[in-house]
Structure 1
């Protein structure tokens, strides 16, 4: 479960995704950047306690769905945020652009 207030995206979500966790997350703009409903996780209204409980219960009952969501989430993070192939080269490019070298 990833419910955060005031609606920020943290590295802990990306780390959970990279570990292959099936995730139920609050449906907020920053979270939607990485969680696509029924693809990389499940989105739920942050303030709807019943819906949160229902989604978590549903995911706990279905190991196949948890596994599939986790696998897709892991692949998404690898493709978008892997240090060696994505993030490091983007950071180096940024440093070159701003002229800190």
Structure 2
């Protein structure tokens, strides 16, 4: 048995880190930086899930290649939609 943390625990920790950083950026009025953080969070979470589940073959559906580089397509995720709504307000 390995001592590897559960995927959900890693995702929760990642989420907490990014929520704090996003809130700090938004409080400072740095909308562009907050938008970058939102996209970075999506990328990190997707890569973590793909790696842990052995499903790197699905990365293309999320606009990423196997190295995590952006492909020309991008999906609108909940956090990206939130940032779009903030920019529009």
TM-score (norm. length: structure 2): 0.32
**Structure holding more strand per residue:** 1
TM-score (norm. length: structure 1): 0.29
Higher alpha-carbon Rg: 1
Larger RCO, structures 1/2 (Cα 8 Å, 6+ apart)? 1
